[in-house]
Structure 1
Amino acid sequence: MKLRGNCQAKVDEKGRLKIPAVFLEELKEYGNQFYITSTTGETAKIYPMKVWSEIEDKLAKMPSTNRAKRKFLMRTSYYGQTVELDGQGRLLLPTVLRESAQTKGDVDILGNLDYLEVMNHTRVLDQLKNEPYTDEDDKALEDLGI
């Protein structure tokens, strides 16, 4: 699965996000269940359940005393919820996450290869401005062969 690009969308008053057609076809290959979560509360990450299950499998192999694992699970559980795609191609964003990430009205949906990231449109523009792409970023990717 290769989710890429950006689509603008809207979250309705009930918290439902209509998945744009460009992403919907790719996502449907993985079924109708998704895990929507965040580690920061600033964005909503939408994982096909198969992808999220692979993450959980990796976490299960780590010791329960691992601090990073505990922090990750606490946050992804607090913000997270299993949701099902409805017949109109919509997903209900969890209330806690929707409020925390300010994902009401206009949002951007960014493709991140195997998951989607939903962000408040203003927050996307602020992040692009305040966190510029640098030569160091280029170097780090070059070191990885990209």
Structure 2
Amino acid sequence: MSRRFRGESQHKVDTKGRVSIPASFRRVLEAGDPNWKSGETPELVIVYGDHRRKYLECYTMAAIDEVDDKIDALPRGSMERKMLQRLFHGQSFPTTVDETGRLVLPIKLRQKIGLENEAFFIAAGDTFQIWKPETYDTEERAREDEWLDNLPEDFDPMAFLDASTGD
């Protein structure tokens, strides 16, 4: 099983769109890049998606290869395959981490999510997301709070894990 991204942090974005990636995230990117060698910088793919997506989703090369394999398994010419190709191939940006551990985010990607001076990073298993901090706070935290508020006060979310295995 491949390594997973874990944690969250906030980092400054400079005027050229450079932002440091959390060190632990860089280790996962290295482990998820089959072409990476010590002393080199890992590759990744940033999926920015359609107009509804308010964050950037960063995939290791192994994770995006898995997505690509699933897209390729769909019938050629099907609407599902065409749309997924557009979302994951067309609306994406292949890049590398620079030698100082930073990403350079093009202006198009920064403008899409309203990223200015700060970027919020949050782990999502085999991907991580980059958000404008205020957007994450108002939208994602509100969604999380709503979900938790609909559960009984003493409910342990770990119970969902047992349900997923049929135990």
TM-score (norm 2): 0.75
User: What CA distance in whole angstroms lies between the structure 2 residues aligned with 1:142 and 1:7?
Assistant: 30
Deviation of 1:106 (Å): 1.1
Shift of 1:10: 2.1
Matches of residues 119-134 of structure 1 in structure 2 within 5 Å? 119-127=131-139, 128-130=141-143, 132-133=146-147, 134=150
Work out the CA distance in 2 between the residues paired with 1:66 and 1:54: 19
Please state which structure has a larger fraction of its residues in strand: 1
Question: Gaps (5+ residues) in structure 2?
Answer: 37-41
Answering whether residue 85 of structure 2 is matched by residue 85 of structure 1, we say no
RMSD in angstroms over aligned alpha carbons? 2.4
Q: Where does residue 35 of structure 1 map in the other structure?
A: 45
Change (3 A) 1:124 1:142: farther
Q: TM-score, normalised by structure 1?
A: 0.84
Return the match for 2:7 from 5, 8, 26: 5
Counterpart AA for 1:9: H
Where 1:144 maps in the other structure, the secondary structure is helix
d(CA) in 2 for partners of 1:22 and 1:88?
A: 14
| Bigger radius of gyration | 2
Task: Give the share of equivalent positions with the same residue, in percent.
Answer: 22
Q: Which residue of 2 aligns with 1:51?
A: 63
Q: How many residues align?
A: 145
- Which consecutive unaligned segments of at least 5 residues does structure 1 have? none
